[in-house]
Structure 1
Amino acid sequence: TRINFFPGPDGVFFDVDLRELEVQRSVDGLSDLMRCLGTATGRNVVLRSEGGSQRVLRYEAGEDQFSLP
């Protein structure tokens, strides 16, 4: 799965082609990556669909939890 990162002042943002997340293993890997980034940087991590501006998933580092928009 190809991931594009966009670090910003309010957190780490990235997008992914959601069509590439066909199996649970891919979704699990993506959530593991989001948690690792958030934990390592102490910043929130936001996933957007490729080319889109709407949030798909958010990892909140301070709460150690995921949330949907």
Structure 2
Amino acid sequence: MADLLWDDVKCFFDPDLMGALPDVRVPGASVEDWQAILDLVAERGWECQYSEGETEVPLPRAEVVLSRAADAEWPSLRVRPAAEFLAIFRFHADDEVDFDVDLRELQGQERLDVFCDFLRAIGRRLGKPVLMDPEGDCGHPVLGFDVEADQVVLLAEPLVT
């Protein structure tokens, strides 16, 4: 059974309302949590590409990425957990895992289920909530993985469009 039903949450996947690239995050994270994400990507065999600036390089350990010099090229990890679904992890800080998804790739129940599976995999691995906020509105999650419920749940009332 689906965690969420498309008809109940489609407003939260409207790029005009939420911004095309909502912020997805795991607050209260650690370097070990970042490494657990990198290990999860490898274990699941998800297609990925790690870059520093515009240069693709082999994926280092999390502590190496997070301890880079302040003037180093900005790192990102592009992960495809499914065809036509891209998550871009940004290594802004060691105490919060953060990544972007493109809502235009997440339309309809099938794509919503793929997204929920991805959040659930991360949340279960870390034992922490995974929250989705509107683009640029961090701190106001609309949905996320709830550790106790062991599923993705609504965290805000759906918007009337």
How many residue pairs get matched?
67
The match for 1:57 among 135, 140, 143 is 143
Is the Cα contact below 8 Å between 1:14 and 1:48 reproduced in 2?
A: no
Which amino acid in the other structure matches residue 59 of structure 1?
F
Q: What is the alpha-carbon distance in structure 1 between the residues aligned to residue 86 and residue 132 of structure 2?
A: 13
Greater relative contact order structure (CA < 8 Å, 6+ sep) = 2
Does 2:102 correspond to 1:17?
A: yes
Does 2:155 correspond to 1:68?
A: yes
1:36 match: secondary structure: helix
Structure 1 gaps, min length 5 = none
Cα distance per residue 1:3-38 (max 9 Å; x no partner): 1335763x6443322222123211100001111111
| Structure 1 segments of 4+ aligned residues over 2 angstroms from their partners | 4-9, 11-15, 51-56
Q: What is the alpha-carbon distance in structure 2 between the residues aligned to residue 5 and residue 62 of structure 1?
A: 25
Structure 2 gaps, min length 5 = 1-84, 157-161
Larger Rg: 2
Is the Cα contact below 8 Å between 1:16 and 1:47 reproduced in 2?
A: no
Does 2:131 correspond to 1:46?
A: yes
The match for 2:114 among 11, 29, 40 is 29
Alpha-carbon distance, 1:57 to partner:
1.5
2:122 match: secondary structure: helix
Identity, % of aligned pairs? 34
Q: What is the alpha-carbon distance in structure 2 between the residues aligned to residue 6 and residue 62 of structure 1?
A: 27
Q: CA RMSD in A?
A: 2.5
Report which of the two has the higher share of strand. 1
Q: What is the alpha-carbon distance in structure 1 between the residues aligned to residue 110 and residue 143 of structure 2?
A: 17
Which amino acid in the other structure matches residue 60 of structure 1?
D
Which amino acid in the other structure matches residue 131 of structure 2?
V
**TM (normalized to structure 2)?**
0.34
1:2 match: secondary structure: strand
